[in-house]
């Protein structure tokens, strides 16, 4: 995750860290925390760039690009 988000053209400059919060071998589930340092007040930044769907799609695109 660190490599994916730190090299992202859209979010790389804001990305600070990724940390695994919880991991389950039974269900193959990982819960992680991403930390970003974002501008104080940029109109629309939080609604667009920090939108959970947008962040998830960056990871999804990286997975597709590897295939």
- Which sequence spans correspond to the domains of the chain? 1-65
> What's the confidence (pLDDT) of residue 17?
96
> What's the confidence (pLDDT) of residue 57?
92
Query: pLDDT digits over 11-66, tens only?
Result: 999 999 999 999 988 888 999 999 998 877 677 777 777 888 999 999 999 999 88
In order, the DSSP letters of 9-63 are: TTTTTTEEEEEEEEEETTTTEEEEEEEE---SS-TTHHHHTT-HHHHHHHHHHHH
Q: Is the pLDDT of residue 7 over 90?
A: yes
For residue 18, list its beta bridge partners: 34
- pTM of the predicted protein model: 0.75
> What's the confidence (pLDDT) of residue 50?
83
């Amino acid at each position: 995750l660190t490599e994916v988000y730190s090299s992202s053209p859209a979010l790389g400059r804001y990305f600070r860290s990724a940390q695994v919060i919880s991991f389950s071998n039974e269900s193959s589930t990982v819960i992680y925390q991403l930390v970003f340092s974002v501008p104080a007040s940029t109109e629309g930044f939080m609604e667009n760039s920090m939108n959970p769907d947008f962040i998830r799609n960056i990871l999804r695109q990286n997975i597709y690009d590897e295939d």
